[in-house]
């Protein structure tokens, strides 16, 4: 008998087909997010739950009685929406999808960086609004990337991929903060310098790009005080998780022009985006597009398939995080 599994959102069709062949699969044809009550019920009825970042799985949705679920195969590399302690207590294995979204997420970080520095969102809005009065030497002047310093917070796979693009593609100097020492060929090739504190990176960077995990440990890692350490003309790029930044403090800093701008792909309470951010021209706002390419979304799905297949064949799941 095939293990019953539930997929909480629509996945790429090719992956849904493979899941349906290998497992007794319940799909979400309407793509309507499950309620906490439905998620709770899923733990009693399915051997595996396949959630994603839009599903919140705090301890309160894990039932107290004996759960049927043995595996949570997350569609995504970030798993701060899942309470790992609650999973561990119930003996549930959790997996993610690392590696396959590195390049596309780094591309979105670069896209935000370029867009906010060169004011392309603002320019397009002006043009489409029929307000462009023609070329002139003082029109919509932005900031050059070449020769500037990019500070990376979190020099993991995605941080390195963003740094590589910025250094080799845009001639930027790379400095970074990472909790553990990073000294490998990639970092040496970019002549990137690891600095001892986040403050060191913030004070010396023209652009700061966040690439650390979300969750309790990094909640408001970039708070009002740290935003205050950034250069006055500095830009903050966030493709990591919304809760890594104190969003209200960031909005204050943007309104007061304490920093020059921000490029955001993630928000504190997605999909809610505060009106104050929407009103600002010096921010570029994207709807969490980091991994949103055909190639990457299929690869993420296939990673989950590999994890499920290994787990239910009694082999170690390759991407076990808990």
Active-site position among 119, 211, 241, 297? 241
What's the first-to-final CA gap in the chain, in angstroms? 26
Counting contacts by CB under 6 A, is residue 19 touching ligand DGY? no
- Catalytic residue at 119? no
Question: What character string, x for contact with ligand DGY (CB under 6 A) and - otherwise, covers 34-73?
Answer: -------------------x--------------------
Q: Which is nearer to ligand DGY, 234 or 263 (CB)?
A: 263
Beta pairing, strands 193-194 & 207-210: unpaired
The residue within the footprint of ligand DGY, chosen from 121, 151, 159, 290 (CB under 6 A), is: 290
Helical spans, DSSP H, in 148-289: 157-164, 170, 185-189, 198-204, 224-229, 247-255, 275-279
Place of tokens 């990673």: 303
| Whether residue 113 has a cis bond before it, omega within 30° of 0 | no
Where does residue 281 rank: exposed (0-12), middle (13-18), buried (19+ CB within 10 A)? Answer: exposed
Counting contacts by CB under 6 A, is residue 77 touching ligand DGY? yes
- Identify the CA nearest to 285 among candidates 265, 306, 315: 265
- Catalytic residue at 125? no
Nearest approach in angstroms of CB 146 to ligand DGY is: 29
Question: What character string, x for contact with ligand DGY (CB under 6 A) and - otherwise, covers 160-179?
Answer: --------------------
- Catalytic residue at 270? yes
Where does residue 301 rank: exposed (0-12), middle (13-18), buried (19+ CB within 10 A)? Answer: buried
The residue within the footprint of ligand DGY, chosen from 18, 39, 57, 101 (CB under 6 A), is: 101
Question: What character string, x for contact with ligand DGY (CB under 6 A) and - otherwise, covers 237-276?
Answer: ----------------------------------------
Beta pairing, strands 24-26 & 261-264: unpaired
The tokens of 148 are what? 């500037």
Counting contacts by CB under 6 A, is residue 291 touching ligand DGY? yes
Where does residue 51 rank: exposed (0-12), middle (13-18), buried (19+ CB within 10 A)? Answer: buried
Distance between CA atoms of 262 and 273, rounded to whole angstroms? Answer: 14
Could you tell me which stretch among 5-13, 75-83, 84-92, 181-189 binds ligand DGY (CB under 6 A)?
75-83
Counting contacts by CB under 6 A, is residue 159 touching ligand DGY? no
299: left (phi over 0), alpha (psi -120 to 50) or beta: alpha
Nearest approach in angstroms of CB 262 to ligand DGY is: 18
With CB under 6 A, what is the number of residues at the site for ligand DGY? 7
Beta pairing, strands 193-194 & 173-177: parallel
Counting contacts by CB under 6 A, is residue 95 touching ligand DGY? no
The three-class DSSP label of residue 222 is strand
Q: Which is nearer to ligand DGY, 78 or 261 (CB)?
A: 78
- Kind plus residue range of the DSSP H or E element containing 124: helix 120-128
Q: Which is nearer to ligand DGY, 148 or 297 (CB)?
A: 297
Active-site position among 217, 270, 281, 295? 270
The residue within the footprint of ligand DGY, chosen from 12, 51, 78, 263 (CB under 6 A), is: 78
Contact set with ligand DGY (CB under 6 A): 53, 76-78, 101, 290-291
Catalytic positions, written as ranges = 241, 270, 288
């Amino acid at each position: 008998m095939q293990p019953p599994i539930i997929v909480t959102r629509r996945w790429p069709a090719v992956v849904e087909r493979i899941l349906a062949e290998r497992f007794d699969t319940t799909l979400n044809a309407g793509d309507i997010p499950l309620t906490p009550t439905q998620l709770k019920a899923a733990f009693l009825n399915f051997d595996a739950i396949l959630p994603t970042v839009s599903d919140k799985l705090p301890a309160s949705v894990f039932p107290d009685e004996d759960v049927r679920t043995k595996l949570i195969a997350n569609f995504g590399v970030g798993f701060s929406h899942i309470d790992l302690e609650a999973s561990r207590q119930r003996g549930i294995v959790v997996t993610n999808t690392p590696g396959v979204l590195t390049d596309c997420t780094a591309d979105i970080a670069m896209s935000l960086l370029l867009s906010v520095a060169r004011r392309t969102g603002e320019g397009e809005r002006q043009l489409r609004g029929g307000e462009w009065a023609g070329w002139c030497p003082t029109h919509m002047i932005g900031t050059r990337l070449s020769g500037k310093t990019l500070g990376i917070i979190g020099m993991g796979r995605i941080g390195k991929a963003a740094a590589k693009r910025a250094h080799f593609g845009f001639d930027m100097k790379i400095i970074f903060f990472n909790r553990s020492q990073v000294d490998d060929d990639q970092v040496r090739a970019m002549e990137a310098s690891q600095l001892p504190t986040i403050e060191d990176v913030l004070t010396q960077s023209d652009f700061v790009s966040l690439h650390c995990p979300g969750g309790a440990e990094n909640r408001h890692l970039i708070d009002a005080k740290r935003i205050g350490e950034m250069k006055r003309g500095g830009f903050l790029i966030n493709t990591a998780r919304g809760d890594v930044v104190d969003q209200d403090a960031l909005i204050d800093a943007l309104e007061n022009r304490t920093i020059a701008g921000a490029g955001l792909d993630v928000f504190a309470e997605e999909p809610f985006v505060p009106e104050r951010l929407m009103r600002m021209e010096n921010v570029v706002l994207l709807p969490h597009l980091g991994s949103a390419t055909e190639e990457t979304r299929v690869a993420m799905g296939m990673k989950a398939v590999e994890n499920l297949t290994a787990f239910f064949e009694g082999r170690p799941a390759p991407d076990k995080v808990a």
